[in-house]
Structure 1
Amino acid sequence: MWIVPEREIADLMTREAAFNAVEKVFAAMASNDAYNFPVVREAIGHVDALYGFKGGFDRAGLTLGLKAGGYWPNNLATHSIINHQSTVFLFDPDTGKVKAIVGGNLLTALRTAAASSVSIKHLAREDAKVIGMIGAGHQATFQLRAALEQRSFEKVIGWNFHPEMLPNLEKVAEEAGLPFEAVELDGMQNADVIISITSSHDAILMADQVSPGTHIACMGTDTEGKQEVDPALLRRSAVFTDEVAQSISIGEAQHAVGQGLIKESDVNQIGAVINGAHGGRTGADQITLFDGTGVGLQDLAVAASVVDLAIEKGIAIEVDF
């Protein structure tokens, strides 16, 4: 069995490698060569933590496993570690034996950013110039860095519940040589691409705050009851997702479907666009929305890539198990 500790991940996994792994597994899902297992996500009744499991099997890549972890809201203040904690377990699909254990914290951030970045590549207008960020926490910086690689953006605008955190986004914009402007939510009408990455349980972005032709990546809703955008926005949009079953049950589409604004059949797999089975955006004025719920296969794909790199570089720790 191989172990790749969390401390080694930063020197192994690049944004490009994460993007390639996630794009490939989305395509495999749409081709029915890979599937996710039902998600388990529970409040454990201790320190307000949410804990769960996401797993799946990729027949094309022969990757089997799960990610265990969740959200401990008091970690940063109490223990000086990030609130999201996770570990990926990979198994040999031929025998069931454990193959690897991989630190999942940075991988989760990278694969989540890669998912929205994949959606921008395949759904945003080619002439997109302004990117808007809703949310300015730890994950938002990963989102912004990955997104900036997909289009020739000329400006970053941002909004956050706590404006004092917006310098996190401004720093990333400055690194890319781009101006940054803090805006009210109505200012998102000036964005060509919007990424929402919050832990909200109430709609933040309203349908009339989005202009025709915008691409929106909703990345924060991954649990029943969470919500970042007005359900009416999904009715105005061509809706895509990582996995339809998750989108309508724990993703942003749960609210629009529940209110009868859209049907399950209105939600399309992003992998079908990657494969060419779906045409994606149909016009410059169409609003496209990606509901990124986060699937276990994303975690397995990036973890498998890390294990291969770690073995190749002699970093992986081999133990008899």
Structure 2
Amino acid sequence: MLIVPERDIADLMTRAAAFEAVEQVFAAMASKDAYNFPVVREAIGHEDALYGFKGGFDRAGLTLGLKAGGYWPNNLEKRGLINHQSTVFLFDPDTGMVRAMVGGNLLTALRTAAASSVSIKHLARKDAKVLGMIGAGHQATFQLRAALEQRDFEKVIGWNYHPEMLPNIATVAEEAGVPFEAVDLEGMREADVIVSITSAFAPSLLADHVSEGTHVACMGTDTKGKQEVEARLLAKATVFTDEVAQSISIGEAQHAVAEGLIRAEDVAELGAVINGTHPGRSSDDQITLFDGTGVGLQDLAVAASVVDLAVEKGVAIEVDF
């Protein structure tokens, strides 16, 4: 078995490699060459933690495995650790034997950012100039760096439940040479692209906060009850997702479907746009929304890529398991 420790991931995995892995696996999912297993996601009744498993099988890439982990909200304050903790396990699809164990914390941030970045590439207007950020935590910085690579943005605007955290994303924008401005939620009407990355259970972004022609990437809702945006926004938008089953059960679409505002049939796969079997954006005044629920295949794709890189560079640890 090969081990790629968390400490080595930053030197191996780039945003470009994560983007390519996620884009390819979304395409494979849409063409039915890859599928995800049902998600296990539980509140464990200890440390307010959410813990679970996401897995799947990519026939095209012969990638089989799972990610185990979740969200420990007290980690940063109590222990100086990031709140999201996870590990990816890969198996040989021919034999079932374990192939690799890979640190999943940085990979989770990179693959989540890559997913919204892929959605911006394929769904945002080409002339998008203002990028809106809702959320300013650890993962928001990854989201912002990845999003800035997809269009020639001239300005970043941001809002967060805790305004004192906004310097986290302001610094990233300024490092990229793009001015940053803190706004209230009504100020999001200026944005051409909005990325929301919070762990909220009540919506902050309302339908009236989003202008015509905007692309919205909702990246924080991955559990029953979580909600970042008003359900009415999904009724106004053309909705895309990583996987429809997750979108309507644990993603942002769960609320719009429950309220009868949209049907499961109204949610399209982003992979179909990548494959060219769905037209994607059809006009400059259309609101598009990507419901990024975070599928296991994303984790497996980036983990498999990083294992290959670790072997190539001679840094993978081999143990007799």
TM bin, normalised by shorter chain, reads: over 0.9
**Cα distance, 1:78 vs structure 2:** 1.2
CA distance in 2 between partners of 1:202 and 1:55 (Å): 28
CA deviation digits over 1:64-112, x for unaligned, max 9?
A: 0000000111111111111110000000000000000000000000000
Q: Which residue of 2 aligns with 1:65?
A: 65
Q: Within 5 A, what are the aligned runs for 1:166-177?
A: 166-177=166-177
Give the secondary structure class of the aligned counterpart of 2:281: coil
**Cα distance, 1:46 vs structure 2:** 1.1
Residue identity over aligned pairs, in percent, reads: 81
The question of 1:138 aligning with 2:138 is answered yes
CA distance in 2 between partners of 1:81 and 1:233 (Å): 35
Q: Which residue of 1 aligns with 2:44?
A: 44
CA distance in 2 between partners of 1:78 and 1:295 (Å): 29
**Cα distance, 1:235 vs structure 2:** 0.5
Give the secondary structure class of the aligned counterpart of 1:10: helix
Q: Which residue of 2 aligns with 1:6?
A: 6
CA deviation digits over 1:143-181, x for unaligned, max 9?
A: 000000000000000000010100011101111101100
CA distance in 2 between partners of 1:318 and 1:176 (Å): 39
CA distance in 2 between partners of 1:124 and 1:179 (Å): 20
Q: Which residue of 2 aligns with 1:28?
A: 28
Q: Which residue of 2 aligns with 1:231?
A: 231
The question of 1:316 aligning with 2:316 is answered yes
CA distance in 2 between partners of 1:218 and 1:48 (Å): 23
CA distance in 1 between partners of 2:318 and 2:110 (Å): 25
CA deviation digits over 1:201-234, x for unaligned, max 9?
A: 0011110110000000000000000000010000
Q: Which residue of 2 aligns with 1:84?
A: 84
CA distance in 1 between partners of 2:172 and 2:158 (Å): 12
The question of 1:197 aligning with 2:197 is answered yes
Q: In structure 2, give the amino acid aligned to 1:144.
A: L
The question of 1:304 aligning with 2:304 is answered yes
Q: In structure 2, give the amino acid aligned to 1:42.
A: E
Superposition CA RMSD, Å = 0.4
Give the secondary structure class of the aligned counterpart of 2:11: coil
Q: In structure 1, give the amino acid aligned to 2:88.
A: V
Q: Which residue of 1 aligns with 2:150?
A: 150
Q: Which residue of 1 aligns with 2:242?
A: 242
**Cα distance, 1:242 vs structure 2:** 0.1
CA distance in 1 between partners of 2:239 and 2:313 (Å): 41
CA distance in 2 between partners of 1:76 and 1:165 (Å): 14
**Cα distance, 1:45 vs structure 2:** 1.1
Q: In structure 1, give the amino acid aligned to 2:79.
A: H
Q: Which runs of 4+ in 1 moved over 2 A?
A: none
CA distance in 1 between partners of 2:287 and 2:144 (Å): 20
CA distance in 2 between partners of 1:138 and 1:75 (Å): 12
Q: Which residue of 1 aligns with 2:254?
A: 254
Q: In structure 2, give the amino acid aligned to 1:173.
A: A
Q: In structure 2, give the amino acid aligned to 1:135.
A: G
CA distance in 2 between partners of 1:290 and 1:89 (Å): 27
CA distance in 1 between partners of 2:197 and 2:34 (Å): 26
Give the secondary structure class of the aligned counterpart of 2:285: coil
Q: In structure 2, give the amino acid aligned to 1:68.
A: A
**Cα distance, 1:47 vs structure 2:** 1.2
CA distance in 2 between partners of 1:273 and 1:314 (Å): 37
CA distance in 1 between partners of 2:279 and 2:183 (Å): 33
CA distance in 1 between partners of 2:16 and 2:147 (Å): 11
CA distance in 2 between partners of 1:126 and 1:285 (Å): 12
CA deviation digits over 1:129-155, x for unaligned, max 9?
A: 000000000000000000000000000
Q: Which residue of 1 aligns with 2:110?
A: 110
How high is the TM-score relative to the length of structure 1?
Answer: 1.00
CA distance in 2 between partners of 1:34 and 1:200 (Å): 30
The question of 1:291 aligning with 2:294 is answered no
Give the secondary structure class of the aligned counterpart of 2:128: coil
Between stretches 71-80 and 8-17, larger displacement belongs to 71-80
